Structure 1
Amino acid sequence: MQPADFPSGPAWPRRALAQLRQLVAFPSISTDPQYAGAVRACAAWLAGHLRRIGLDGVQVFETPRHPIVYAEKLVGPRKPTLLIYGHYDVQPVEPTAAWTVPPFGAVVHADKLYGRGASDDKGQLFTHVKALELLLASGQPLPLNVKLLLEGEEEIGSPNLGAFVQAHRRRLRADWAVLSDTNMISSAQPSLTYGLRGALAAELTVQGPRAELHSGVFGGAVLNPLQALSELLAALHDADGRVAIPGFYAAVQPATAAERAYLRRHGPPDAQLLREAQVGQGWGEPGYSLYERTTLRPSLSITGLSGGYQGEGVKSVVPPQARAKLSFRLAPGQDPHIVEQQLRNYLRQLTPPQVQATLQAQLHAPPYTVAPDHPAMQAAAQAYTEGFGRAPVLQRSGGTIPVVSLFEEHLGIPTVLMGFGLPDDGKHGPDEFLHLPNFWRGIRTSLAFLRRLGAFQPSPSHASSHEPVLHS
């Protein structure tokens, strides 16, 4: 669907794009306290916009950190209910010098809207908002009840969302949830995600002397925390790229031959992933393609290092402390709390007596799988066909979205992962963009999805089905 195809006239697409640009222009960086005001302003803007398009019960709920925006439109108890989730917070923009456009300028060039959060997740969540606007403006009742939950802390691990969902179980009661925060294979080939890896994020701190020491006076006499940390980090992988923590792979559920064959046929080849990563050679666990390594198998990444003098020139000191940030992605079967304990036990064995190592866990999220033959997934597949003119393929994602596990645990509902992003759209990196043809087609897909879900009541027998059923 192109902008001119919308039934509301030629002014509506221009207005919708202008509104999306306003949303992207908010520097709603959730991890940095100096942007707390911008996060709050973004939440207020969203709440006002949801009221203007005709949604009811719009509220901005306070949390210990950033607000949650809620809205609903209830058309009757005999209709099914869909919970739409999205997040309006964004990642930091550093290094700013790597951007060729202002990170919050919401610049449109050709068929791309540039800006931090344009794809992750403001543009994607806005497809559902605009679809609801069109339905509400049509003068006809919605085909189903809808509830919207828009979060401001997803990029920092949703620390307050679990308590909110648990406290508001009745308010959030639904038959299904949907979120759009994943990728399609390409702009020409839509895809429907049926599995996510879990996550464990932690910070490892190695403490040595109480204060900086002169490296000429004490170098060689005391163990440098940076050296101790480096040796600990080096011991986390073996020479083949496998995670070396004892017991780490014990609970991993191996993929079936049918699933691996399906993913080989429909997933990106190694060469494509290497091009997207802009590297010449892959790395990691032997025996698996790069796509399998990033979706079916677990991984451990060192995402940050700090310690010692970071300024220009020389400062000859032994630092008192060194830190590393660790990011685990977990495969089906793994429990993030068990992996954390395995890591603690391993570090306890390896840490030399001259220093102290402490580990602070910051995020736990289990892996997630939803059956592709679930009725809501089938409705999503049909909606993609209407919106993009082509049936989607099934895919797993290497990423983690903690909210899907919260919805499963506290609400007992599956989440449909309808992504409209692209693999090369720069999420979390410089020059992030939203492919605007995907935005317009995404609105059409959301419209079709809402109408199809409104046509039937969900079958309770599907609610706990999590075994993939893959067809070629």
Structure 2
Amino acid sequence: MRNYIALFVFSFILFSGYSQDSTALKSQVAQAIQDLREFIAIPNDALNPDDIDDNIFWLKKQFEQRGFNTAVLDTENLPLFFASLPMDDTKTTVLIYMHFDGQSVEPSKWQQPNPYQVVLKKPVSDGFETVSFDELGDDINYDWRLFGRSTSDDKGPIIMFLNAFDLLKKDGKEIPFNIKLILDGEEEKSSKPLPNAVKQYRELLEADFLLIADGPVHASGKPTIAYGCRGITTMTLTTYGPIKPQHSGHYGNYAPNPGFQLAQLLATMKDAEGRVTIAGYYDGIALDEETKTILQSVPDNDQAIASTLQFKTAEKVGSFYQEALQYPSLNIRGLGSGWIGPNRRTIVPESATAELDLRLVPETDGNRLKRLLKNHITEQGYQVLDHVPSKDERMRYDKIVTVEEGSVTDAFRTDLNDQYGNFLHDVMKNTFSEEVVRIRIMGGTVPIAPFINELQLPAFLVPMVNPDNNQHSPNENLRIGQLAYGIQVFYSILSSEKIRNGE
């Protein structure tokens, strides 16, 4: 059985239409490494507007020197960056979405002095060992890695695109596409300005299809296309006991305990096998045999996933991993009440809070699911409020829950037989001489649904980075081989003219 964790070994075989040999490709990868080091050195904390401006200045220079027209698109918050080649009405137009902002860093948790200064490391038996860039040499080792914030999420793919474009020009390739790029500086903050910005700049963003270069390839290491992603919304539930924490010896068995109330309430929302019991939660979802066949073709190993995550039995929402992703989830992402650990106290807490996230699929509306959840809470005998209860409300109702609702980011899913999806599949299969993993909908959320809803165009995620990249975490990294992979993917797609109609 293939080891599910010993992944990420690509055989970077060049397809017949690709004119560069492995030496020329490695030369371009060497340039890409230098470009990435320069790009990463510009901090890009999504919470710091000055960082975003500095990155846009760098992007503007890079794209304009390659002949792109650029624009900084003002939004209700931070700007978007737009670039395009001169338009030809006879060509198909591809719109490429990537983002250049990154998660905040806590330097003390990184195994390098500065997360914004890329460090080169090679794999060793117990992890990775830092090496000098002088050791990289002409024969670049694709298994070595580049460590730094946003090397994989998502500055790496931007560098892959720029270097693929350079290689196309070196080869004298005519690009049979109109190319537009929209680069987001607030993706790590859920891209809140994006929906209105898409409406405002609709004409500028119009295209035949959307390609999203974000996220890791499938864990098997195979070329991957995802045809959709789940949406998300959130809720915060708070139950109440005494107005202030009380001595558990004096008031235990007497003052209502909000921790137990909340635990009992949450327990009514799922059965023992993990299925949501709220009426109507899964309405509208049906999987036919053709869809199930495609889901089962994804080379997951459910036993290996369980072994890696160290649990014995998976929940029963679906009969296997990919099937489970086709349904909306109800997840407790955090619980809190009183004090725990070294600060624990013998008290009856004054409140208890659960943070929930609800992952959405195209058949489910986030606002509807939140209404179902609130109705369910009411049916359990709770008074639902949208504020902290007053004394009068505390004295009037036996059980109270304050519910805070988060915004909704919609899901999207493109038809598996879409002609542009078929085109991407064929190009990638020919490029790497192996089957492409087709993921109907991925579990995570990318805030590109406004493109689909407003522009009405098919969209595809073409991930390019290694699955074990530690995105959002300390020691984020990019396998050098993924730079080669991404350059090849962009090169192959943007130099191929064949688009066949889906059946």
Question: Could you tell me the TM-score, scaled by structure 1's length?
Answer: 0.83
State the distance in 2 between where 1:290 and 1:23 align: 36
Which residue in the other structure is 1:171 paired with?
204
1:245-284 matches, cutoff 5 A: 245-251=278-284, 253-277=285-309, 279-284=310-315
Cα distance between partner residues in 2 of 1:215 and 1:398: 46
- Alpha carbons of structure 1 residues 11 and 291: separation in structure 2 relative to 1, 3 Å: closer
- Alignment partner, residue 328 of structure 2: 298
Within 2, Cα distance between the matches of 1:444 and 1:196? 24
**Cα displacement string for residues 192-225 of structure 1 (whole angstroms, at most 9, x for unaligned residues):** 2223233222232335555554555544443343
Q: CA RMSD in A?
A: 3.3
* Higher deviation after alignment, 313-322 or 224-233: 313-322
Equivalent of 2:482, from 411, 424, 438?
438
Once the two structures are superposed, residues 4-37 of structure 1 have per-residue CA deviations (whole angstroms, 9 ceiling, x without a partner) of 848978764333212223334555343xx4x444
Contact 1:214–1:316, Cα closer than 8 Å, also in 2: yes
The 8 Å contact of residues 28 and 163 in structure 2, kept in 1 or not, is answered as: no
| Higher Rg of the two aligned structures | 2
Q: Structure 1 CA distance, aligned partners of 2:471 and 2:116? A: 14
Match of 1:381 among 413, 417, 425: 425
* Cα distance in 2, alignment partners of residues 148 and 44 from structure 1: 16
Q: How far did residue 164 of structure 1 move?
A: 0.6
TM-score by length of 2: 0.79
1:18 aligns with 2:30: no
| Deviation readout 1:287-322 (Å, 9 max, x if unpaired) | 6013322x2233222112334346843445544443
- Whether the aligned pair in 1 keeps the contact of 2:13 and 2:431 (CA below 8 Å) is no
2:358 is matched with 328
Change (3 A) 1:159 1:218: farther
2:203 corresponds to 1:203: no
Give the whole-Å Cα distance in 2 for the aligned partners of 1:439 and 1:376.
24
Q: What amino acid is aligned across from residue 312 of structure 2 in structure 1?
A: Q
Q: How does 1:333-344 map to 2 (within 5 A)?
A: 333-344=363-374
Look up the match of 1:109: 121
Distance 2:41 2:257 in 1: 44
From 68, 71, 74, give the equivalent of 1:61: 74
Structure 1: stretches of 5+ with no match in the other structure:
463-468
Query: What secondary structure does 2:496 align onto?
Result: helix
User: 2:128 matched to which residue of 1?
Assistant: none
1:7-406 matches, cutoff 5 A: 12-30=28-46, 33=47, 35-59=48-72, 61-64=74-77, 66-92=78-104, 97=109, 99-101=110-112, 103-110=115-122, 111-135=144-168, 142-186=175-219, 188-215=221-248, 217-251=250-284, 253-277=285-309, 279-285=310-316, 288-293=319-324, 295-309=325-339, 312-350=342-380, 351=382, 353-406=397-450
For 1:157 and 1:339, locate their aligned partners in 2 and report how far apart those are by CA, in whole Å: 20
* Deviating more after overlay: 37-46 vs 238-247: 37-46
CA contact (8 A) 2:13 2:432 kept: no
Match for 2:88: what amino acid?
A: G
- Flag structure 2 segments of 5+ consecutive residues without an equivalent: 1-11, 15-19, 123-143, 384-396
Contact 2:68–2:86 (Cα < 8 Å) also in 1: no
- Residues 53 and 136, structure 1, Cα contact 8 Å, conserved in 2: no
Distance verdict in 2 for CA 1:103–1:222, change over 3 Å = farther
- Mapped to 1, the partners of 2:85 and 2:319 lie a distance apart of 46
In the alignment, is the contact (CA less than 8 A) between 1:24 and 1:122 conserved in 2? yes
Contact 1:214/1:317 (<8 A) preserved: yes
After superposition, the Cα gap between the structure-2 partners of 1:135 and 1:233, relative to the gap in structure 1 and judged at 3 Å, is same
Specify the code of the residue in structure 1 equivalent to 2:291. Answer: E
1:421 lines up with 2:433 in the alignment: no
Paired AA for residue 486 in structure 2: G
Say if 1:2 and 1:437, in contact at 8 Å, map to a contact too: no
The alpha-carbon distance between structure 1 residues 250 and 286, as it changes in their structure 2 partners (threshold 3 A), is: closer
Comparing 2-11 with 374-383, greater Cα deviation is found at 2-11
**Cα distance in structure 2, aligned partners of 1:326 and 1:113:** 35
Contact 2:120/2:146, CA 8 A, preserved across alignment: yes
Q: Percent identity?
A: 27
- State the alpha-carbon separation in 2 of the partners of residues 28 and 324 from structure 1: 31
- Deviation of the 1:397 alpha carbon: 3.9
**Cα drift, residue 100 of structure 1:** 4.2
Structure 2 CA distance for partners of 1:6 and 1:42, relative to 1, 3 Å: farther
Residues 1:390 and 1:18: Cα distance change in structure 2 (over 3 Å):
same
SS of corresponding position for 1:259: helix
d(CA) in 2 for partners of 1:262, 1:320 = 50
CA distance in 2, matches of 1:219, 1:127: 61
Classify 1:27/1:377 alpha carbon distance in 2 versus 1 (closer, same or farther; 3 Å). same
Cα distance change, pair 76–428 in 1 and its aligned pair in 2 (3 A): same
User: Cα deviations across residues 220-261 of structure 1 (Å, max 9, x unaligned)?
Assistant: 44334333333333332111111122211122x221223223
Question: What are the Cα deviations for residues 329-377 of structure 1, in whole angstroms up to 9, with x where unaligned?
Answer: 2345222221111111112233374453233332423332222332211
Q: Verify the 8 A CA contact 2:317 2:327 in the aligned structure 1.
A: no
Q: Which amino acid aligns with 1:301?
A: N
Residue 170 (structure 1) shift: 0.9
| Residue matched to 2:141 | none
Distance in 1 separating the partners of 2:13 and 2:55: 28
Partner of 1:452, secondary structure, is: coil
